[in-house]
Amino acid sequence: MSNISSNEKNFEISEECGPVEKIHRQTTTGKVSDKWISYLKVYDRLFAPLQNRSIRLFEIGVQNGGSLDLWSKYFINAEVIVGCDINPRCNKLSYADSRIHVVVGDANESQTFEKVSQISDRFDIIIDDGSHRSDDILNSFNIYFPLLKPGGIFIVEDTHALYENGGLKQIKSAMAFFKLFADLVNYEFWKSDSTIEKLLNGFVSKTQLTDEVNAGWVESIEFRNSMIIIRKELTPTHSKLGARSIVGTEAVANDLVLKIKLGKVRSWKNPKTWF
């Protein structure tokens, strides 16, 4: 029987570990960083294209501050890394890296928002690791998604907390709100039947977020265990399907596709053309 504890096994570093996971696992001193291992693997996939860019990152909920060290080591060319926490003890956090800034306060209060936006009014990555309460999650997304740069990534962590206290049955939970985004990104196919305002009725007021959603800035949404990932479009559009591309000249099973190619069948609403 191995004398390695389950906790030590959890922190064995294998060749399969990506850079984010390695940096986290190799941290043995300094500020504490508390992340689920599955998150680190997702971050390695999401952030790889951005690793060497001059990105701007904002994290809500930094606790002991170790995650900000993690991001500074991973994003070596980052311009600015901002952390926000409601705990007044976070005033004691200090960093040798001048790129790291800590704002203490409720991220959803106007004065805190002003402090954050004075440091940076645009971000490539926003991570919500705050209270994990639906009202705070919705407010934070409402307030900070407009600060996300085109092509940026907004991540909500620890969404398993939303299932506590009968969360599955709560029709106004943050999870219920984001599930609607599966319909939102397909708006071009139901826009003649309803509106985005009706879809999101009761969740968001007529704010800048609603304007951005109406304009088509939400590119996609991804649900993972305890994580929600929202990507922002490079340019706003609801025509997300794009053009249909048909190549080749032989259609022995169904020649209808060639008629579509030649422009003889045009409507996507015709089920016979969907295959």
Q: What is the pLDDT of residues 62-98, one digit of tens each?
A: 999 999 999 999 999 999 999 999 999 999 999 999 9
Q: SS3 of 83, please? A: strand
Q: What is the pLDDT of residues 255-273, one digit of tens each?
A: 888 888 777 665 555 554 5
Give the model's pLDDT for residue 53. 98
Mean pLDDT of the chain: 89
Same domain for 119 and 98: yes
| Per-residue pLDDT at 251 exceeds 70 | yes
Same domain for 269 and 227: no
- For residues 129-139, give the mean pLDDT: 95
Q: What is the CATH number of the domain that holds 68?
A: 3.40.50.150
Give ∠ CA 143-162-132 in degrees, rounded to 5: 45
Q: How far apart are CA 82 and CA 68, in angstroms?
A: 8
CA-closest candidate to residue 33, choices 5, 1, 74, 4: 74
Same domain for 264 and 134: no
Same domain for 220 and 271: no
Same domain for 253 and 227: no
Determine, yes or no, domain membership for 3: no
Same domain for 271 and 143: no
Could you give the number of structural domains in the chain? Answer: 2
**For residue 60, what are the β-bridge partners?**
84, 128
Same domain for 251 and 192: no
Same domain for 247 and 182: no
Same domain for 187 and 266: no
User: Domain range spanning residue 168?
Assistant: 8-232
Same domain for 266 and 132: no
| Per-residue pLDDT at 12 exceeds 70 | no
Determine, yes or no, domain membership for 237: no
- 132 part of the active site: yes
Among the listed residues 101, 132, 160, 238, the single catalytic one is: 132
Same domain for 159 and 68: yes
* pTM score, whole prediction: 0.90
- For residues 19-26, give the mean pLDDT: 94
Contacts with 162 (C-beta within 8 Å, 6 or more apart), sequence order: 132, 134, 137, 173, 174, 175
CA-closest candidate to residue 40, choices 74, 64, 8: 74
- For residues 207-221, give the mean pLDDT: 88
| Per-residue pLDDT at 198 exceeds 50 | yes
Contacts with 168 (C-beta within 8 Å, 6 or more apart), sequence order: none
